[in-house]
Structure 1
Amino acid sequence: MTQSTLVDSPASTKTSKSPQRPAGSTLRATLQKADYERAFGILEYCDTSVSVVDFKQRAVEALNSYFGFEHVSFFAGATFHNTFEDLTPLTEGNTAKMLPEYQGRWARHDVFGAPTAMRQLVSSGVCSLSELSAFGPLPAAASAYVRHFLIGTWRMESATAMRLELPGGHTALLGMFDPDPDKVGRCEAATLRLVSRQLSAICRGLPVSLPTASLNRLSARQRQVVQLVADGLSNAQIAETLTLAEDSVKKYVSRILGSTGCRSRMELALLARSQRL
């Protein structure tokens, strides 16, 4: 695979001598073959999700596997700012231990809720603490959150957020934390930005949750029909495969949807995949 360039937001800067750049300025980050392999690995892993609930878990697992993030959180809400109020986020690593203090004291001061961070997340999908530092001084409350909570209490020198679009116009924020201040450099941030756009595309088409009905109660013939629906066959193709009239297949599908509570063939296919029919 040849090297390609991806327009990125300002490079992470670690020294006080670094020039400040206004939000929205860009630098180019050259992605290598390994960067694309990590991105494709994450997308391939998450593309098999069968619901938003399943997607959340897979996204967290993929970030751990391909980027080595051990401390990850997945918050969701109806709007960008509502995400910080999620009372039941998915947490991995030390984020589970951090959650009570975060919800009790720091959620409204989260650095990624600051205006500069919000603009960065909305425009590019990813924002890192090092990038925010390069933009200039943080708001006092956000600075206290970083100094006292992230670094002072939990020794998280690196913090990165990824914004995703969920079904129904809802928003998710994945938080990735690490004791290493250099965990997310310019190439890592660019790779995460590439991933964020595609993860949003995957997640927007998923059902929020799957029906709780089990396929085990279906007859053997009905289960055959479900399997063929899950394989993407049309009613005419199913009729030919099972040597049935097409009208009979339509009745089978209609009864199966009613029995399982699925609202569409897509939901039925996802249910079949989740229960590994």
Structure 2
Amino acid sequence: MRKLDYERAFDVLEDCDRAASLPDFKEQMVASLGTRFGLRHVSFFAGATFHNVFGDHAPLTEGNTEKMLPEYQERWSRYDVFSTPAACRQLVSSGVSSLSELSKVGALPASANAYVRHFLQATWGMETAAAMRLELPGGHTALVGMFDGCADKLGPSELSTLRMVSRQLSAISRGLPVTRSRAALAGLSDRQREVVRLLADGLSNAQIAETLSLAEDSVKKYVSRILSLTGCQSRMELALLARSRA
């Protein structure tokens, strides 16, 4: 691999390693592919299993993938070229599959060929298409779609680089809180976590104050600050969040 390829790999990992939560990871992953590989048309689909990924109703989209989404969901998701057995084998074994590689393996199924010819190429002018499979928290799966109008946008070197980082990216994403609220909860101070624990146990502000030897006004300030940090709208929502994390 070239020096540029290693630099790209390290840059992508550094970009994504800054994520505090899974939503942050998705955004930073898509942005990094644009910055490091010049890919402007990127999507991030997620699902409980590999085959559920293609039915994601609210994927993250960038560039023309946002405009492509309604027709894709209505007509083409079941025929996606990256849901074919050949693509699945590549994605499971190496983390990345590309249209150029699939075309060399053998003829595509008629439905997948129609998806490529009529949807990707004729309608949207996408000559490059590739996907990266990532592992998410709870055993879920993500598929990052990468598209471009230039046929050689992702050559052998670029695909090798993406394969090199796919496993490390999965290691990063698997350990992230699934929401920004959970990430914020994990970042609370020890005293703030004590307040949350007691609140989740059903204690009132007065009871929390007595337990922690604090003034009740101080507890009110703690609770208000914690609600602000986590984005929770009520004590009940905060308690449910804390219990779901336990």
Range class of TM-score, shorter chain? 0.7 to 0.9
CA distance in 2, matches of 1:195, 1:128: 16
What residue ranges of structure 2 are gaps of 5+ in the alignment?
200-222, 227-237
Residue matched to 2:194: 254
Q: Tell me the CA shift for residue 129 of structure 1.
A: 0.3
- The 5-angstrom pairing of residues 130-149 of structure 1 reads 130-149=100-119
Residue matched to 2:142: 172
Q: 1:116 to 1:254 in 2, by over 3 A?
A: same
CA distance in 2, matches of 1:69, 1:192: 12
Deviations 1:112-148 (A, max 9, x none): 0000000100110000000000101000000000000
Counterpart residue identity of residue 33, structure 1? K
CA distance in 1, matches of 2:194, 2:153: 52
Residue matched to 1:119: 89
Identity %: 61
TM-score (normalizing by structure 2):
0.78
- Secondary structure of the 2:154 match is coil
- Secondary structure of the 2:126 match is coil
Q: 1:137 to 1:49 in 2, by over 3 A?
A: same
Residue matched to 1:81: 51
Q: Aligned Cα RMSD in Å? A: 2.2
Residue matched to 2:99: 129
- The 5-angstrom pairing of residues 1-277 of structure 1 reads 31-211=1-181, 226=188, 253-256=193-196, 258=199, 259=223, 260=226, 261=238, 263=242
Counterpart residue identity of residue 168, structure 1? G
Counterpart residue identity of residue 13, structure 2? L
Q: 1:175 to 1:251 in 2, by over 3 A?
A: closer
- Alignment size in residue pairs: 204
Structure number with the higher helix fraction is: 2
Deviations 1:199-240 (A, max 9, x none): 10000000100328989xxxxxxxxx94xx5xxxxxxxxxxx
CA distance in 1, matches of 2:156, 2:24: 30
Deviations 1:253-274 (A, max 9, x none): 412555544759xx9xxxxxxx
Contact 2:21 2:183 in 1 (8 A): no
TM-score (normalizing by structure 1):
0.69
- Secondary structure of the 2:180 match is coil
Contact 2:120 2:127 in 1 (8 A): yes
Q: 1:214 to 1:162 in 2, by over 3 A?
A: closer
CA distance in 2, matches of 1:146, 1:116: 15
Contact 2:177 2:183 in 1 (8 A): no
